[in-house]
Structure 1
Amino acid sequence: MIYRKDHIPKGTACNRRPALFMEATTLTIHNTGNEESSAANERGWLTNASNKRQASFHIVVDEREAIECIPLNECAWHAGDGSGSKSGNRTSIGIEICESGNYAKALDNAVKLVAQMLRERGWGVDRLRRHWDWSGKICPRLMYDGGKWTGWNEFKSRVAAELASKEDDDLEKAKVYVNGEKIEDGFILEGRVYVPLRAAGEALGAKVGWDNKEKIATLTK
């Protein structure tokens, strides 16, 4: 995936780049809501003369590239919660995931991009937010699933897995025992111990099941 910077100018119409300093504390995920628009199109829309909206964002990603449209140390108008000092607009980096073309690939790219950004900042997935978390807007809409937010939970899990896969050598290991017998090591991430389910289940004499379609793991004894 190509990552490039194409910042909109200061003074862009509708105050889309207010140039207000921001020290980000979270990353906010969005869907573009446009099934026909690429990352380049979304960047172009920010400076299109026919665009009358104030809304803006920091990064947009599609199946081919990610474009940084506003410097990450400046605020953008993406969270819909005003300009207060603790608002998402003033404290969070807005990342738009395009819905056009190969959305699965765009999602893959977004997972890798977000994991890299978290890693660079020493953050975990607890720093991820939905547009919904700031203003109640159903966004990222393709992760909503009728209010279950199945796609959102899966996205966070994939980002966590990407972080773990890159940092496996640096993760603190956890020795795991079942009824006094040592099994495969687990690891500690963000204060939680992750245990290999199959190894633990088999040590308990349980049947381990996995439904790949529904993403459900089961232990039956």
Structure 2
Amino acid sequence: METKAEKAKAPSRRTSITDVARVLQVSASTVSRALSDQQDISKATKARVRQVAHAMNYQPNLVAAGLRRGQSKTLGVILPHLSGAFYPTVLHGIEKMASQHGYQVLVCQSHDEVRCEQRRVAALLAAQVEGILIPVSATTLAEVNHLAQVQQAGTGLVFFDRAPADLPGSAAVLLDTYNGAYEAVTHLIKGGSRRIAHFAGPQQVSTSRNCQEGYLAALRDHQLPRGKN
């Protein structure tokens, strides 16, 4: 004679908690409490629920469950690209820390293009992420309305590596490229160098802009002329 678990073959559509409850002839609430190991459910019932849920290939909808609790336990990360060593290393750290606190991470790429960045922000907000971590694209310039919308939605927003020039109330974790450039140029000058070149990055990006300002400040403080280019 077939058991309920043997009869409970996975349907073509995704198995719902209601499907599991119907096979067991219990309420969906009982299934939910059994799977979340609530104390008011007996060990025998928990074992039976888990057996049938496994046989039916039931996967809890963690997003829906999180939204019912008022939190998705999900963070969004938008990177300009995943090439090189820097951003993959940062992403590894983000995912490691998020996992330790029970969070999942959704990763997107802006391809260093503001229109793409805007679409990624909208998608993450629609996914109900609790926070977004982002180094702005090289073409974001003064177009920060999509980032302001993140703040207005009450979603956490943290910039790292790159931050927009004009977005009050935003949090940022940035390298001190101004002092880094200043000290590097000063070191070269003390070593006897007088013609020091600087390969500037896009000036709408804070780290590039600060780096160039540090370079120029060191030249001024040591009364050296700025190069023509």
Q: Same fold (TM over 0.5)?
A: no
Query: TM-score, normalised on structure 1?
Result: 0.26
TM-score between both structures, scaled by the size of structure 2: 0.25
Q: Which has the higher helix share?
A: 2
- Higher strand content, 1 or 2: 1
Structure scoring higher RCO (CA < 8 A, sep ≥ 6) equals 1
